[in-house]
Amino acid sequence: MRARDQATAPLAGRYVIDGRPFDAPALVGGLYIVATPIGNLRDITLRALDVLAASNLIACEDTRITRRLLDHYGITTPLTPYHEHNAAAARPKLLTRLAEGASVALVSDAGTPLISDPGFKLVRAARDAGYMVTALPGPSAALAALSSCGLPTDHFLFEGFLPAKPLQRRARIADLKRLPATLVLFEGGSRVAACLADLAAELGPRATALCRELTKLHEEVRRGNLDELAAHYAGDAETRGEFVIVVAPSERLAEPMEIDTLLRDALGRLSVKEAVAEIAAVTGQPRREIYQRALALAKETEKDEGPNDA
């Protein structure tokens, strides 16, 4: 909007930054997907404040969490809960408000809505009904971790939360291990140690970054190989807060025949344990798979050599 037009635009709300009030211009009716801070409340855009202040209604996961953000900026827009447990009942009511021409802002507890948060069905329904839907980009824990951890960013897969049950979690990790992309995962403090242990068992010693409480007072980024980090968090490491786990892609995904060749050479120089560790590090394949192949090769060697005639 041009400065002249903005000066004459009707005002629909107000917010406060560092004690200074700002007027928010009126909004066109529609659904506004608004990214909010993941920790530091100053990580919010001016456009987001405009929309939150001028909206007729803000749909949010937890009204208590969003109210803290609004109170910080002096915003009084009404809130309504919209989360995975009430979405089926709440969605028709929000669509009715959109049909009436209201401007509705959708936020999550932290970060960008729909990224491991509810909202997909609401956005789809709003678009299918012909209502305007627009996104306001901003904070994202996944992108903050990826951009700051020093691991490859040219190809990455956002997986979100892995399954909570160990068997399903290991199965999903096995599905991901051959993807030539950096993996970005979310995990809570209560399960981070178990998650890291399973990642290490399935993926081998890949370079990894553990990002805890990003943008908050106790922000921590710890780097190392998966096995090292799994051992660290199996102890008495601090696990309070929210984690983003960023795992580098395997440096190379060797074919079975190549692994056999590398193993035969290593077994001629090293013990089985040492050979397995070396080949796992070189290929990025899980140690347990390399170990099983090493045992098979050892049996084949014994069979080819036959009984000792000495």
Which tokens is 80 given? Answer: 């309504």
Last residue of a domain, one of 74, 109, 139: 139
Q: Are residues 81 and 159 in the same domain?
A: no
DSSP 81-131: E--TTTHHHHHHHHHHHHHTT-EEEE--SSBSTTSSSS-HHHHHHHHHTT-
Q: How many domains does the chain have?
A: 3
Measured CA to CA, the distance from residue 292 to residue 286 in angstroms comes to: 10
Using DSSP's 3-state secondary structure scheme, residue 11 falls into: strand
Which tokens is 70 given? Answer: 């609004």
Q: For 250-294, what is each residue's pLDDT tens digit?
A: 765 556 677 788 888 888 888 888 888 877 766 667 788 888 888
**The model's pTM:** 0.76
Measured CA to CA, the distance from residue 175 to residue 158 in angstroms comes to: 14
Q: Are residues 52 and 103 in the same domain?
A: yes
Q: For 27-68, what is each residue's pLDDT tens digit?
A: 999 999 999 999 999 999 999 999 999 999 999 999 999 999
DSSP 206-235: -EEEEEESTTSTT-EEEEEEHHHHHHHHHT
Q: Are residues 133 and 218 in the same domain?
A: no
Measured CA to CA, the distance from residue 121 to residue 108 in angstroms comes to: 14
pLDDT value of residue 305: 55
Measured CA to CA, the distance from residue 283 to residue 121 in angstroms comes to: 41
Backbone torsion region of residue 197, taken as left when φ is above 0, otherwise alpha when ψ lies between -120 and 50, otherwise beta: alpha
pLDDT above 50 (res 97): yes
Q: Are residues 157 and 121 in the same domain?
A: no
Q: Are residues 264 and 148 in the same domain?
A: no
pLDDT value of residue 9: 53
Containing structural domain, residue 190: 142-247
Last residue of a domain, one of 139, 171, 201: 139
